[in-house]
Amino acid sequence: MNLEAYDLLPGSSGFAFEFISVGPKGRIEKIVTYTEMETPGFFNLGFGDKDPITKRMDDLSRSGNGDTEKVLASVVQTLLQFTSLNPNAIVHAKGSTKARNRLYQMGISKYLDDVMKNFKVYGFSTSGWEVFKKGIPYEAFMAHRLSFTTPT
């Protein structure tokens, strides 16, 4: 996958990443986290903007910095790094809004052929979970490396 992405700063645990979006609204610090869910081996992908003053995450931010594709590519890079260190991890992602889910959907659809070389991707719609297909409005996503193995 050869997408233009921002430089990533990883956390020492390998479960958190930071990058800086640059655009008309200035420099916006973005944080991506992978947190293990109640089901072992499943990790929730968290994504958001850091408040420049409090340094806490800003739940209501809508940065709109004109660099959507580069931001998406950067999130994909964190997924590549995270799953290369944790090859059996299954990553769950669900946008906090319909708009953010559409964004994830667009990103996966646009690079589907590349994504499918490394990952198996599922989408959740009104019909339940299925292998990701273009053009279906999904509410949530899951992905794991194709090299993923089931522990015995």
Under DSSP, the state recorded for 138 is -
Given the complex with other proteins, which of 57 and 112 has the nearer CB atom? 57
For the stretch 75-78, contacts whose Cβ atoms lie closer than 8 Å and that sit 24 or more positions apart, written own/partner, are 75/32, 75/45, 75/47, 75/107, 76/1, 76/3, 76/5, 76/107, 76/111, 76/115, 77/3, 77/5, 77/8, 78/8, 78/17, 78/32, 78/34
Is 7 a binding residue for other proteins by CB under 8 A? The answer is yes
Examine residue 96 and tell whether it contacts other proteins (CB under 8 A): yes
Q: Given the rule CB under 8 A, which of 5-13, 72-80, 97-105, 109-117 is the region that contacts other proteins?
A: 5-13
Does residue 92 belong to the site contacting other proteins (CB under 8 A)? yes
Give CA–CA dist 72/119, Å, rounded: 16
- The answer to whether residue 94 forms part of the interface with other proteins (CB under 8 A) is yes
* Least spacing, CB of residue 25 vs other proteins, in Å: 13
- Classified as helix, coil or strand, 30 is strand
Under rule CB under 8 A, residue 11 binds other proteins: yes
Q: Is 4 in the site for other proteins (CB under 8 A)?
A: no
Residues that bind other proteins (CB under 8 A): 6-20, 22, 27, 31, 33, 35, 37-42, 44, 46, 48, 56-59, 90, 92, 94, 96, 122, 124, 128-130, 140, 142, 144, 150-151
